[in-house]
């Protein structure tokens, strides 16, 4: 854990902002902030994994897929791999 630092608070329009020292910078452009008593906790917002995204999706039904007229399509050639 790093040593505590005094930081500057300032106004940015109607919002209060804090200057984050370089040694506390987070990568990316989004973070999650929550308040616990007198403390503000700021943590990196991690991107969801593909499995998390798929898990949140509703199952697809056949009704969601339109019928496709494939009579104009050429047959695929066999390909050796």
Query: Which carries the bigger pLDDT value, residue 52 or residue 80?
Result: 52
**Contact present, 22 and 1 (Cβ < 8 Å):** no
Q: Residues with Cβ < 8 Å from 5, sequence gap 6 or more?
A: 21, 24
Q: Residues with Cβ < 8 Å from 7, sequence gap 6 or more?
A: 18, 19, 20, 21
Q: In this predicted structure, what is the pLDDT of residue 67?
A: 77
Neighbours of 41 (CB within 10 A): 10
pLDDT in tens, 9-61: 999 999 999 999 999 999 988 999 999 999 999 999 988 899 999 999 988 77
Report how far residue 16's alpha carbon sits from residue 35's, in angstroms, rounded to the nearest whole number: 14
Q: What is the CA radius of gyration of the chain?
A: 25
């Amino acid at each position: 854990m790093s040593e505590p630092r005094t930081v500057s608070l300032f106004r940015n329009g109607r919002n209060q902002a804090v200057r984050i020292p370089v040694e506390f910078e987070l990568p990316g452009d989004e973070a999650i902030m929550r308040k616990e008593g007198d403390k503000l906790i700021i943590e990196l917002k991690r991107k969801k994994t593909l499995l998390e995204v798929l898990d949140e999706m509703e199952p697809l039904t056949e009704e969601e897929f339109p019928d496709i007229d494939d009579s104009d399509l050429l047959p695929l050639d066999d390909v050796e791999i």
